[in-house]
Structure 1
C-alpha cells in the first residue's frame, strides 16, 4: 500500500486507511479513509502512459476551461499537493494523484439497464458538448495513435508476416474473417479526409465505470480522463456500443451469449443526442452506426494481433486468451452488422 504518498497531501499515515478500489485494469487505485474525509488515490501506469505529465496538463487545461465557461459542471479535478502539484512523482515508485471522494456517488462495472446506458451516453455527450469551444490544439496526446484504425490494421498485417507461425496457422479462419471486414478501415481513411468530421475533445474510454452515478442511478459526471485527447465522435460512441450492447464482455467464451440488444442501442442514441445532436454534422449522424463497427473491429484486430505476437501487449491469463477475446469481438461485430437494417436509421 502506498501510504508514503499521503504526507504529500497533508494526510497522516497513522490515521488513514487504504484499501484497493474499483476494477480498473491500467492504473492502481485505492480509497483513502481518514477521520474526517475520504479520497481516491491512483498510481499512473507509466508503462502505458509514457508521459504522465501530459495527463496532468490536459486535466488542468480542461478544469480551467470548465471553471471559466461552465462553473456548474461538477468536474472532479485532482487535488493539489503540499508542493502545489496535481501529480507527484516518487522516485522508483512512480506517479501518483489524489481526488476527493464524492459523497453519495458510485460507479457501475456492468450496464444492466437501458436507463443506465442512456445516462452514461448523456454524460459523455455533455462532456464533449461543454468543451466544444475549447482550443483542442492545446491538448497533448497521452497515447499517440490510440484509435488509429489504419495503424491497427497495419500492425495486424505485420503480425501476419512476422508473428508466431503456429498461431497464425491455427487462427486462419478468424484472420480471413477479419480481412473480409477491411472495408471498415477504408471507411476510416475516408473519414480522416472528410472535413464534415470534426476533431473534438474526446474521452476515448467510455465504458460505464467511467461515469459517476448518484443514489438514484442518475449520471453526475465523467471521470478517468487519462485518454482525453482530440478525436472523432466515433471513438466515444463506438466504445459505448462495444461495451454496452452485449450482455457479456470480451472475456466471454460462450459465443451463444453474445448479442446486440436493440433497446441499449436506442438508449445510446437518445442519451448522446440529448447533448450532441445539434453539434454533429449530417455526415457524422450518417456514421453513427459505423461507430460501433469501427470500435468493435479495432478491438478484434488488437486482440488477434497480440495473440499472433505472443501476447506481448495485453498479456494472457491462459493459452489462447487473446484469441478468444478476438473471436468474441468478431462475433459481436457480426451480430451488429446483422442488425444494421434495423438500427442504422435510428440516429438520422
Structure 2
C-alpha cells in the first residue's frame, strides 16, 4: 500500500521511514520522513466520512479563500498528488498526504490553562477569519453531527426497544437524561428564533487538533479539518468545555476525579473571545456558558443510547463501557451546571478587566 500511495505523489517509499503517528481514533495516520523532509500520510475512515470528496472540496474551497484574504495564515491542506487530485484512491480506500509542520507539536490533554488559552484562540481565529466566507459553499461531511434534537429522538427510540436488563442497569442515567431535556428544548428555541448564526466551525476542538510551537507552546493553527462545515459556535466552545475542563476524560471510571477547573474555563473564554468578540452577536455571547451544557449533554445522550442499543456504534472493551462513559458525562454535566454562577462571575471579571485596560489606554 505505501509504495502505491507514495508513488502517486512522486515519492520513493525506499527513501523514507514510516511509523504510526498521533492519537486520533478515526483515521489511520503515519509520519513519512527522512533526514531532509517529512510528511503526514493519512487514510480517511470512510465508515465515518462516507463522502470524502466533500472533505476535499471543503478544504480546497477554504484554502482558496484564505490564500486571498489571509495568505500568511498557516493552513495545513493536503498536498496534491502528481495527477493533481487531493486524494489517492486505492482499493476503495482514500489516502492523502500533508506537509509536516516543523517545530510543531500537539498534546492529548490540557495540563495547564495556557494550553487551553492558545487552543481556544486558534479555534476562534479560524472561525473569525472565515466570518465573511459564504458558509453555503461548504457541504456537510457528517450529516447531523451535532443535531441535538435528533440525538434525543435516537435516545427515545433506543429506550423503547431496549431490553429490561439494560434499562435496569441504566435506570439512573436514563432519569438524568430525561431530567435535562430542557437543554435540548433551549437549543430548539435558539435555532428556531435565529439567535445563532450559521458559521464555519471546526466541530472537533479537542486539544490534539491544535498545533503548538515546540519551544514556546504558542498556538500555530488548527488541524484535522475533516469536520469543518457549517455549524454554530456553541459546537466549538462546547467541545472545548467538554474535553478541557476536567483532567479526567470520558473513559474515567472514578467519578471523584472529575472536577471543573475554573482557571481553564477562564482561559477558554479569554482565548476564544479575543478572536470572536467582534464577530459574535450580543445574543450569541449570552449562550457561551450554555455551549458546555449542550456538548456534554449530547455526548452523554449518545453514550447511553448506544448502551441501550447493545453497543453498536462506539467500540467497547468491557460490558458496561458505554454506560460508564455516559454516567461519566452526566457527572461532568452536573458539576458544570453547579458552576454556572461562578462562570458568570469569571466572564464578568474578564470583561471588566478589558474595559479597565481600554480606559487606561485612552487616558
TM-score w.r.t. length of structure 1: 0.98
Contact 2:202 2:236 in 1 (8 A): yes
RMSD: 1.0
What pairs up with 1:187-198 in 2 under 5 angstroms? 187-198=186-197
What pairs up with 1:63-142 in 2 under 5 angstroms? 63-92=63-92, 94-142=93-141
Match of 1:240 in 2: 240
Contact 1:111 1:208 in 2 (8 A): yes
Per the alignment, in what secondary structure is the counterpart of residue 319 of structure 2? coil
Contact 2:6 2:12 in 1 (8 A): yes
Per the alignment, in what secondary structure is the counterpart of residue 226 of structure 1? helix
Per the alignment, in what secondary structure is the counterpart of residue 305 of structure 2? helix
**Count of matched residue positions in the alignment of Structure 1 and Structure 2:** 347
- Offset, 1:278: 1.1
Match of 2:157 in 1: 158
Match of 1:284 in 2: 284
- Offset, 1:203: 0.2
Per the alignment, in what secondary structure is the counterpart of residue 227 of structure 2? coil
Per the alignment, in what secondary structure is the counterpart of residue 9 of structure 1? coil
Match of 1:168 in 2: 167
How many Å separate the matches in 1 of 2:346 and 2:189? 23
Match of 2:54 in 1: 54
- Offset, 1:345: 4.6
Per the alignment, in what secondary structure is the counterpart of residue 108 of structure 2? coil
What pairs up with 1:189-228 in 2 under 5 angstroms? 189-215=188-214, 216-228=216-228
Match of 1:321 in 2: 321
- Offset, 1:35: 4.1
- What whole-Å deviation, never above 9, does each CA across 1:94-119 have from its counterpart, x for those lacking one? 00110010110000110001000000
Contact 1:288 1:347 in 2 (8 A): no
- What whole-Å deviation, never above 9, does each CA across 1:234-260 have from its counterpart, x for those lacking one? 000000000000011000000000011
- Offset, 1:120: 0.2
How many Å separate the matches in 2 of 1:296 and 1:29? 27
How many Å separate the matches in 1 of 2:102 and 2:189? 46
Contact 1:286 1:347 in 2 (8 A): no
What pairs up with 1:332-343 in 2 under 5 angstroms? 332-343=332-343
- What whole-Å deviation, never above 9, does each CA across 1:107-143 have from its counterpart, x for those lacking one? 0110001000000000000000000110000100000
Contact 1:3 1:18 in 2 (8 A): no
Contact 1:22 1:29 in 2 (8 A): yes
What pairs up with 1:262-277 in 2 under 5 angstroms? 262-277=262-277
How many Å separate the matches in 2 of 1:206 and 1:252? 20
Answer with 167-176 or 147-156: which moved more.
167-176
Contact 2:2 2:13 in 1 (8 A): no
Contact 1:269 1:346 in 2 (8 A): no
Which ranges in structure 2 are unaligned for 5 or more consecutive residues?
Answer: 349-363
How many Å separate the matches in 1 of 2:99 and 2:42? 12
Which ranges in structure 1 are unaligned for 5 or more consecutive residues?
Answer: none
Contact 1:207 1:239 in 2 (8 A): yes
Match of 2:7 in 1: 7
